[in-house]
């Protein structure tokens, strides 16, 4: 029996019982379940880095506003599908103050988390033009978006951006777009899982391609303002959160409140449709919708079908949070910077013990410290590494399930790891390195 930080036999036994064909290929939820059972059997706490759950308390301003709204009786009333007017106004103000873009409140729509905004957009965008029936993912990405495509029966193509940073992105995008079948492009920025952030050069290229080939860019800003190398948190003051919306009018933005306001449980996000896309008419939409106007089809076709709007009280909660943020009374960055601080320490522990960062740069700059980072160990595939780390009380996910071609890589999420666990993490990584000597 090997002497590993977590009892070797128990781990073997639990892996066997889990019936997983391969731990290394397991999904986020499968890893979570396996680690839950090992933890409860051994009583040992893992360094849990598999799930991207906010590790901070929800913004209290929101909770208080929700309680007040519930007491007033909003629970009894159907909210309008397009959202309550004060929230639409605050979303419009928010994008003006933090992205420096003008969007009419009509195109600022609350959704049941960004996930629903994505689902509704994939649905609507792929029905605008008969010939354009495929989404292009700039990977690595969030696996659920591909799942959404599978359940919708919508085609998708993808590539790993790792080798196509900077100017190289142009030709790569063009190689897909010139075929004429791409309706929209999706990426997250900062990126889940790699935490790369597109530079302005890259966003400009994406915007130019959107204009040239008439495709809709879906920019997923789930980690809004969380590239902590710059301060994007001062209302109405540069620098602004970098965004493709500076370079094209063909955009929809998804701004999640889950991470930046630690509001994941209330399932409320923002979908922001540019004025020009909102009012655009497309005959092909009438195959599915009562109107040929994009904004109308999105709201009264897609969103109506999905959930008939977003729950009432979270809309009041988000309104109050945005009001405070827009008025400069609540600085979201100061709160979520805890992720940056933890990432800095954790990355160093990995680097000091023989690991390396996989997605390590944005063009010439070192990647930011934030919610996620990616790592690998010399000579090991991500699959093997993840399976091995379980015996060391460390859980995460492999990059292979995110569309990454860096098959050696693992994604680590810092949010749930407590600072009090850092000594354990260090001890376990040291032992891992000792047990897995790298041949010079
Ligand atoms: C890239 C990305 N998009 C979307 C989401 C989901 O956001 P929401 O909770 O607003 O549905 C996440 C959550 O982890 C994410 O990482």
What tens digit of pLDDT does each residue of 207-265 get?
Answer: 999 999 999 999 999 999 999 999 999 999 999 999 999 999 999 999 999 999 999 99
264 lines ligand 1 (CB under 6 A): yes
Residues 125 and 145 sit within 8 Å (Cβ to Cβ) = no
Neighbours of 345 (CB within 10 A): 15
Ligand 1 neighbourhood includes 115 CB (under 6 angstroms): yes
- 130-162 in b/e form (b: 16+ CB < 10 A) is eebebbbbbbbbbbebbebbeeeebebebbbbb
pLDDT one-digit tens code per residue, 45-81: 999 999 888 889 999 999 999 999 999 999 999 999 9
Name the residue with the closest Cα to ligand 1, atom 3: 222
* Rounded distance from Cα 260 to ligand 1 centre (Å): 11
**Exposed, middle or buried, 216 (CB in 10 Å: 0-12/13-18/19+)?**
buried
pLDDT of residue 440 exceeding 70, the answer is no
Give the C-alpha separation, 64 to 421, whole Å. 32
Tokens of residue 341, six digits: 């601080």
The closest of 338, 350, 358 to 422, measured between CA atoms, is 350
Here the tokens at position 7 are 């009892």
- Do domains 8-56+336-435 and 60-326 share one topology? The answer is no
Task: Count CB-CB contacts under 10 A for residue 79.
Answer: 19
CATH 3.40.640.10 correct for 60-326: yes
Cβ of residue 415 lying under 6 Å from some atom of ligand 1: no
222 CB near ligand 1 (under 6 Å): yes
The whole-number pLDDT of residue 1 equals: 65
Q: pLDDT tens across 156-193, in order?
A: 999 999 999 999 999 999 999 999 999 999 999 999 99
Widest Cα–Cα separation across the chain: 69
Cis before residue 239, ω within 30 degrees of 0? yes
pLDDT tens digits along 330-381? 999 999 999 999 999 999 999 999 999 999 999 899 999 999 999 999 999 9
Pairwise CA distance, residues 278 & 281, whole Å: 9
Residue ranges covered by each domain of the chain: 8-56+336-435, 60-326
Tracing tokens 């999105």 back to the chain, one arrives at: 298
| Confidence check: pLDDT of 87 > 70 | yes
Model pLDDT for residues 143-166, shown as the tens digit of each residue? 999 999 999 999 999 999 999 999
Give residue 25's pLDDT: 84
| Topology of domain 8-56+336-435, CATH | 3.90.1150
Q: Give the Å distance between the CA of 62 and the centre of ligand 1.
A: 19
**C-beta separation of 155 from 149 below 8 A:** yes
Predicted TM-score (pTM) of the model is: 0.96
Token pair for residue 102? 């003008």
What share of the chain has pLDDT > 90, as a percent?
94
């Amino acid at each position: 029996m090997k002497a590993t930080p977590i009892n070797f036999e128990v781990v073997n036994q639990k892996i066997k019982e889990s019936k997983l064909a391969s731990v290394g290929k397991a999904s986020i939820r499968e890893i979570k379940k396996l680690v839950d059972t090992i933890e409860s059997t051994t009583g040992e706490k893992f360094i849990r880095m598999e799930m991207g759950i906010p590790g901070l308390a929800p913004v209290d301003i929101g909770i208080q506003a929700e309680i007040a709204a519930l007491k007033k009786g909003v629970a009894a009333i159907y909210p309008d599908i397009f959202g309550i007017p004060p929230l639409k106004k605050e979303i419009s103000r928010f994008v003006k103050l933090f992205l420096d873009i003008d969007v009419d409140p009509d195109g600022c729509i609350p959704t049941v988390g960004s996930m629903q905004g994505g689902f509704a957009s994939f649905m609507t965008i792929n029905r605008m033009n008969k010939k354009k029936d495929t989404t292009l993912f700039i990977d690595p990405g969030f696996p659920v978006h591909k799942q959404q495509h599978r359940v919708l029966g919508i085609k998708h193509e993808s590539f790993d951006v790792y080798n196509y940073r900077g100017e190289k992105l142009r030709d790569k995008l063009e190689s897909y777009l010139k075929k004429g079948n791409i309706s929209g492009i999706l990426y997250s920025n900062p990126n889940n899982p790699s935490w790369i952030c597109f530079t302005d050069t890259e966003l400009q290229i994406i915007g130019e391609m959107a204009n040239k080939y008439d495709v809709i860019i879906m920019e997923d800003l789930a980690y809004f303002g969380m590239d902590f190398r710059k301060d994007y948190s001062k209302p109405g003051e540069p620098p602004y959160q970098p965004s493709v919306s500076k370079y094209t009018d063909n955009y929809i933005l998804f701004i999640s409140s889950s991470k930046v306001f630690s509001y994941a449980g209330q399932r409320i996000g923002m979908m922001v449709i540019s004025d020009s896309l909102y009012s655009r008419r497309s005959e092909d939409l009438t195959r599915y919708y009562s109107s040929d106007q994009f904004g109308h089809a999105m709201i009264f076709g897609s969103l109506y079908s999905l959930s008939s709007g977003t729950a009432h009280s979270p809309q009041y909660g988000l309104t109050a949070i945005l009001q405070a943020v827009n008025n400069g009374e609540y600085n979201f960055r100061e709160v979520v910077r805890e992720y940056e601080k933890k990432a800095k320490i954790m990355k160093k522990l990995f680097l000091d013990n023989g690991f390396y960062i996989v997605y390590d740069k944005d063009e010439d700059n070192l990647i930011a410290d934030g919610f996620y980072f990616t790592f690998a160990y010399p000579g090991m595939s991500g699959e093997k590494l993840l399976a091995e780390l379980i015996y060391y009380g460390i859980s995460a996910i492999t990059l292979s399930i995110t569309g990454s071609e860096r098959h050696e890589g693992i994604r680590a999420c810092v949010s749930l790891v407590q600072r009090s666990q850092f000594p354990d993490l260090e001890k376990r990584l040291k032992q891992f390195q000792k047990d897995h000597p790298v041949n010079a």
